[in-house]
Structure 1
Amino acid sequence: MSLPAFTYTIELLNTGHNRVDFRCGIEALDRYLREQAGQDLRRYVATPFVLCDVDANMIAGYYTLAATSIQVEDLPKVLRGKLPRYPLVPATLLGRLAIDERYQGQGLGAFLLVDALRRSFMSEIAAMAVVVDAKDEQVRAFYEHHGFTAFPGQFRRLYLPMTLIARQFS
């Protein structure tokens, strides 16, 4: 993972950010940032964080975090044995992650993923894992490359246990 080659900040989305010019190549992710992300933040549904190129006044990328839960029976048996006998356990959902086309190919997806994992780990709210829903095989491969594992029988839903995230930041 490399640091951005520009002066940057990672911060909560706010009305001062230029969302109109963001283009990642996936219309649904572009539209979400333009039209829905601010509403999700105000309604406490998801928390969007943006990677800003300070000098260009552009959003280079963004991701969202939200609370979710995992049905314990959906986890591998070896992991279930280490958890309390609750039907659900808390988790953090990394709902969206996108990089503007002008910034793609610079490792910024991995950079934002690490930031999202760090924020999830540092949260004062308990979560046993970070969960993602990969939209396609390329996205799935990205998350698997970074240590995520698919839920048994769920090809595109993946998780990274907080115990592994904690090791990364210890």
Structure 2
Amino acid sequence: MRPVYTIEPLGKIHDRAAFACGVEQLDHYIKVIASQDMRRRLAITYVMHRPESPTVIGYYSLSAYAIQTTELPDDLRRRVKYEHVPAAMLGRLALDRNYHGQRLGALLLVDALKRAVQTEVAVMAVVVDAIDDRARQFYEMYGFERLADHPNRLFITAKTIEQLIAG
């Protein structure tokens, strides 16, 4: 059985021109900035599309990040003996408005979390800057917690991700 959706790194074959999620900053990123960030090795953007069509219906970007230990909750801070801990930054996550309400945002998020904790590079957590309260609530629903001093900067530990993926 063919998958209903494919998620893969952004490439020249992917059609981003019609993408519209309703947030201009996110629309502009996929249409203009994402490929530049990939060429510069600043972030990797993964796109969701149907196998039979190159039209992008959703995307997210991942890049390297470091969390200052002082920003972590006390229980985690006590276990870490470093000034910074490695993390992956979920820089953006967006879904074309024609696909809202189909739980595809959750599918993109889980794919991003799986890729972030793969063993090629050690990360203790995944960090995201929620664009607004609605986005923050979406991430919190999946176990993300707020970092100190940043009301919309959230994180989820690799251990929590592994538990989430395991079901």
Q: What TM-score do the two structures reach when normalised by structure 2?
A: 0.94
| 1:86 to partner: Cα distance | 1.2
Q: State the distance in 1 between where 2:40 and 2:17 align.
A: 21
Counterpart of 2:73 (choices 72, 76, 98) is 76
Whether 1:149 aligns to 2:145 is: yes
Other-structure match for 1:20: 17
Counterpart of 2:83 (choices 87, 90, 93) is 87
Q: Cα RMSD over matched residues?
A: 1.3
Whether 1:159 aligns to 2:155 is: yes
Q: State the distance in 2 between where 1:129 and 1:101 align.
A: 29
Counterpart of 1:48 (choices 40, 45, 49) is 45
| 1:76 to partner: Cα distance | 1.1
Q: Is the 8 A contact 1:7 1:55 kept in 2?
A: no
SS in 2 for 1:102: helix
| 1:169 to partner: Cα distance | 3.5
Q: State the distance in 2 between where 1:12 and 1:129 align.
A: 21
Q: Deviations over 1:21-66 (max 9, x none)?
A: 1111111111111111001111110000000123343211000000
One-letter amino acid of the counterpart of residue 109, structure 1: G
Q: Is the 8 A contact 1:149 1:160 kept in 2?
A: yes
Other-structure match for 2:34: 37
| 1:7 to partner: Cα distance | 2.6
Q: Is the 8 A contact 2:13 2:54 kept in 1?
A: no
Counterpart of 1:112 (choices 81, 100, 108) is 108
Identity across the alignment (%):
45
Whether 1:97 aligns to 2:93 is: yes
SS in 1 for 2:56: strand
SS in 2 for 1:59: coil
Structure 2 gap ranges (5+): none
Q: State the distance in 1 between where 2:94 and 2:119 align.
A: 22
Q: State the distance in 1 between where 2:53 and 2:41 align.
A: 29
Q: Give the total of aligned pairs.
A: 164
